[in-house]
Amino acid sequence: MKPLPSSLPEVFYEELKEHRGDYYVIYNAATSDLGVAWMVLVFLKRAEDLAFVSSAMESELEHWLRRFPVPLRVASVDEKEENIHLSPLKESS
């Protein structure tokens, strides 16, 4: 992906946090440095249930893309902030 032009003004955004019961979502808007927004799902429960994690990630991706239609990177971590790897369930892209 091509970075945004450096001539754009620097803008600061607060991250958005939304609680979903078994997990919460942290969303950060795209910046001129990255050119993409990023989101992390933090699983407080059910982090070992990869089908649930994958489904939640896909659902949140759709939700946030409707809300803010910009390129979005999605990751997931457990309550210890360790990455949740979906490789046993999904092929890498």
Closest CA to 38 of 4, 2, 13, 11: 13
pLDDT digits (tens, 9 = 90+) for 13-71: 678 999 999 999 999 988 777 778 999 999 999 999 999 999 999 999 999 999 989 89
Question: How many CA within 13 A on the CB side of residue 3?
Answer: 8
Q: Is there a contact between 79 and 86 (Cβ–Cβ < 8 Å)?
A: no
Q: How confident is the model at residue 85 (pLDDT cuts 50, 70, 90)?
A: very high
- Terminal alpha carbon distance of the chain: 15
- The strand pairing partners of 16, in sequence order, are 27
Residue 68 lies in a domain: yes
What is the residue range of 47's domain?
Answer: 16-78
Residue 90 lies in a domain: no
How much is the pLDDT for 87?
84
Q: Is there a contact between 79 and 43 (Cβ–Cβ < 8 Å)?
A: yes
Residue 69 lies in a domain: yes
